[in-house]
Structure 1
Amino acid sequence: MALDAARYVAGLPKAELHMHIEGSIEPELMFELAARNGVPLRWKTVEEVRQAYRFHNLQSFLDLYYDGCRVLVTERDFHDVTRAYLRRAHADRVRHAEMFIGPQGHTRRGVALETVLEGVLAAMDAAEREDGITSGLLLGAQRHLPEEDALAMLEAAEPWRDRILGYGLGGAEVGNPPSKFARFFAACRERGFRVTAHAGEEGPASYVRESVELLQVDRIDHGNSCLDDPALVAELAARGTPLTVCPLSNLRLRVVEDMTRHPLATMLRAGLNATVNSDDPSYFGGYVNDNYLACHEALGLDIDDLTLLARNSIRASFLPAERQAALLADIDAWRAAAEAP
């Protein structure tokens, strides 16, 4: 019996491991927060904002992304945007989400770190209490800034260390190799935090290799360009290093010109531990299920592939082993129920 992919994906338990809270501000919420805080926007209507979501590279997106961050001012604002994302993820049957927030972009404009973290953490607690979705928080260092700034962020966040899952590295790759942050990542690992790095989205395969070998990351965010280095692919496959791939993001940022040319299927055939994620869903036109279905339609991924991606997402998460086992069992149960007469 052929399964309906849309229905199957809609009920498929999964984790999302690569999304930026600031990148989930829907235009309607952006206008609401701007009005709440008296922040002028350069767009007059929601439709104008949506029309602006036409990017020619990563930097053109980041320019708009940082402009949108200006509407986040109070603890309530950070709570509301985080809660809105987790509510939407719950609707996509995301059982666990590991989310990035970029504190430097907020503290540099005068917003206290406490305001950012307390708002986000309160929303995470509410989502688990009200919807049953668990989540973890990753603080992302901006790679265009000096490493000293990242180290200062690590120190400033120490009072919340028990609520912080780990640290990452994001922002414009070109000209900002992972090696620039070797001391920062060593300090994060020494303190027991999990670490990830954006690499291989616009940067070369050497950036992926640096992230694995020098920064000793637990996950690679994106990782597309690893396919340019067959030896690296073999190493990543042997290690089981997770790649948090973001297909619709890659399309919108012209990393790929067409979804039929996206490397996800090639990654899976090469034995890479690839997962599917939304990155910045409000800007890139799709939440996690939209990404699954876009890959199904454009790359011919079948039910086995979609199930594998969901299983990979659980195994690549930073959840304890017993929670991973329970969620993997839920995936198996959903597959069995879907195939039952």
Structure 2
Amino acid sequence: MLSSDSSQMIGSSIVLSDKEQQVNDLLMNYKLKEYDEGFNNPGNFLPAVNFFKSKSKIEQSEVFNFIRKLPKGASLHSHDTASVSSEFLYNLTYSDNLYGCVTNERLQFHFFSESMVDNVCKWKLVEQLRQENSSFDDFLKTQLTIIVDDPVKVYPSINDVWSRFMQTFSTLSGLLTYRPVFQSYFYQALKELYEDNVMYLEFRGTLPDVYELNGTIYKAEEVVKLYIDTLQDFKRDYPNFHGARLIYAPSRNVDNETVDNYVVAATKLKELYPDFIAGFDLVGQEDLGKPLIQFIPQLLELAKTNIKFFFHAAETDWIGTSTDMNLFDAVLLNTTRIGHGFGITKHPQILQEVKSRSIAIEISPISNQVLKLVDDLRNHPGAFLIASGYPVVITCDDPSFWGAKALSYDWYMAFMGLSSRESDLKLLKQLAMNSLIYSAMDEEEKSDTFIEWEKQWNQFLEDILKKDVFMKYFGCCSVNNIK
């Protein structure tokens, strides 16, 4: 029975080579030590602790540092204006010509070429605000993320944390939609992924208006071109990075006429940039937003084109509500992947459909925890999906807002909190391959990317074994401290 049970887990069919087995022995030495310490002292098991409190300890974990080195393939679910490290985001507030003001206890940003008179917002240079108030920086930092010391007290319900979450997007809008910052920000997002051993990106974007100091406004088509130009610059600097695609993902909390406009915009964007536009989604808090069923005529019209769907669905704890029912409509609309799908294990028919149709489920463990779907990640429904061999990819969602960076933090949570004590390198290898298999790349591009990834994987094995041998012979330090 144990053998049959474990044979269903993601990666169970993989047979490790001799080199992989040696690396796996090292990994499992780290994992079992950390896992068993958690079993003996459950309050210290990091996936069971809110990420706001566990992050610094995760960064000391040998398992985490192993995962950082591992070639992870692709990042398939993140959002355009919440994808860089919070440190980089904070540094942007030292940019020239950046003004700030406070309305309704929220900081707003905008770039101007000269002082502006505004009856609603009394704009001042951020540099001046810093000089006038020694505590301004402390306040500013609270505006850039949703991190708090006591998340249980500050966010008593999911609506409370989502309110702060959406306010943070609003605060950053004027900062990130200034054209030079917009491109610098996207370049940095690509760089942080690359440094985290990720080779390809598919991200959700709302395509906001982007502005220049002289008043020029870039609309959706031009904003896509800004992304493409920045991507090309990045690939010239880092030729090993494979590429990126955009999933056009505007707000779901709108009326039908607005979605009519979305359909026109998405169709035109796909015609203009067929290789860069991966597909379409609707974003925002599902519980308070409009369900997919409200927009079926528009979505069926869009389905007639060659645009793929990547719907957020069932990012909720409720069952039988409109949010939960988004799963059924997403599958019936032939979605390519499902964003979050937190409620999927409550629906046996949908479970059958996603497996038979190979609809990948994008699991973002940290997002689901800090946005109050689950406190202890051992109780995440993704544990069942991983154990049962469902098409799963591990994603990062909005790492800026909770102090994470790129993919490794979420991979750590999945490996330590959502999978068995016995799950090993086979799981991590399959998750990396899944990220390429379930991407929006065509088959030829996937084949080329797999060749690139396999080279990275083999180099990773060599590097780990060289460092391990060094440590055994010289015994001076941790693998992580050996350059």
TM-score of the aligned structures, taking structure 1 as reference length: 0.88
The answer for unaligned runs of 5 or more in structure 2 is 1-21, 28-62, 108-135, 212-216, 466-483
CA shift digits 1:165-195 (9 cap, x unpaired): 2111111111521112223322333221121
Q: Which moved more, 1:230-239 or 1:40-49?
A: 40-49
User: Which one of 269, 280, 283 corresponds to residue 170 of structure 1?
Assistant: 283
Could you tell me how far apart the structure 1 residues matched to 2:351 and 2:228 are?
Answer: 36
Could you tell me how far apart the structure 1 residues matched to 2:97 and 2:360 are?
Answer: 40
| Counterpart for residue 24 of structure 1 | 83
Q: 1:302 to 1:265 in 2, by over 3 A?
A: farther
CA shift digits 1:136-190 (9 cap, x unpaired): 0111021101232133134346264434221111111115211122233223332
CA contact (8 A) 2:70 2:197 kept: yes
* 1:192-211 alignment, distance < 5 Å: 192-202=306-316, 204-211=323-330
* 1:40-55 alignment, distance < 5 Å: 40=101, 42=106, 44-45=136-137, 47-49=141-143, 52-54=146-148
Q: 1:248 to 1:126 in 2, by over 3 A?
A: same
User: Which one of 140, 162, 183 corresponds to residue 249 of structure 2?
Assistant: 140
- Offset, 1:264: 2.1
Give the RMSD, CA atoms, in angstroms.
2.7
Could you tell me how far apart the structure 2 residues matched to 1:216 and 1:104 are?
Answer: 27
| Counterpart for residue 274 of structure 1 | 392
* 1:113-262 alignment, distance < 5 Å: 113-114=220-221, 116-132=223-239, 133=241, 134-156=243-265, 158=268, 160-162=272-274, 163-175=276-288, 176-202=290-316, 204-213=323-332, 215-262=333-380
| Counterpart for residue 297 of structure 1 | 416
Identity across matched positions, percent = 19
Could you tell me how far apart the structure 2 residues matched to 1:88 and 1:138 are?
Answer: 20
CA shift digits 1:70-108 (9 cap, x unpaired): 32333223211111100101111111101111136879x
**2:193 is paired with a residue of what secondary structure?**
helix
| Counterpart for residue 94 of structure 1 | 198
Q: Which moved more, 1:171-180 or 1:155-164?
A: 155-164
Could you tell me how far apart the structure 1 residues matched to 2:251 and 2:80 are?
Answer: 15
Could you tell me how far apart the structure 1 residues matched to 2:430 and 2:80 are?
Answer: 26
- Offset, 1:120: 2.1
CA shift digits 1:48-89 (9 cap, x unpaired): 346643473334312222222232333223211111100101
**1:326 is paired with a residue of what secondary structure?**
helix
Q: 1:265 to 1:153 in 2, by over 3 A?
A: same
CA contact (8 A) 1:39 1:71 kept: no
Could you tell me how far apart the structure 1 residues matched to 2:280 and 2:401 are?
Answer: 23
CA contact (8 A) 1:21 1:81 kept: no
Q: 1:145 to 1:165 in 2, by over 3 A?
A: same
| Counterpart for residue 63 of structure 1 | 167
CA contact (8 A) 1:141 1:150 kept: no
Structure 1 or 2, whichever has the larger Rg, is: 2
Could you tell me how far apart the structure 2 residues matched to 1:64 and 1:269 are?
Answer: 35
Could you tell me how far apart the structure 1 residues matched to 2:163 and 2:141 are?
Answer: 22
| Counterpart for residue 7 of structure 1 | 66
TM-score of the aligned structures, taking structure 2 as reference length: 0.64
Structure 1 residue ranges (4+ consecutive) displaced by more than 6 angstroms after TM superposition: none
**1:80 is paired with a residue of what secondary structure?**
helix
- Offset, 1:240: 1.0
Which amino acid in structure 2 is aligned with residue 24 of structure 1?
S
**1:22 is paired with a residue of what secondary structure?**
coil
Could you tell me how far apart the structure 1 residues matched to 2:410 and 2:324 are?
Answer: 24
CA contact (8 A) 1:104 1:153 kept: no
Could you tell me how far apart the structure 2 residues matched to 1:242 and 1:66 are?
Answer: 30
**1:201 is paired with a residue of what secondary structure?**
coil
Give the total of aligned pairs: 337
Which amino acid in structure 2 is aligned with residue 279 of structure 1?
D
The answer for unaligned runs of 5 or more in structure 1 is none
**2:373 is paired with a residue of what secondary structure?**
coil
Could you tell me how far apart the structure 1 residues matched to 2:306 and 2:366 are?
Answer: 33
CA contact (8 A) 2:247 2:280 kept: yes
Which amino acid in structure 2 is aligned with residue 148 of structure 1?
E
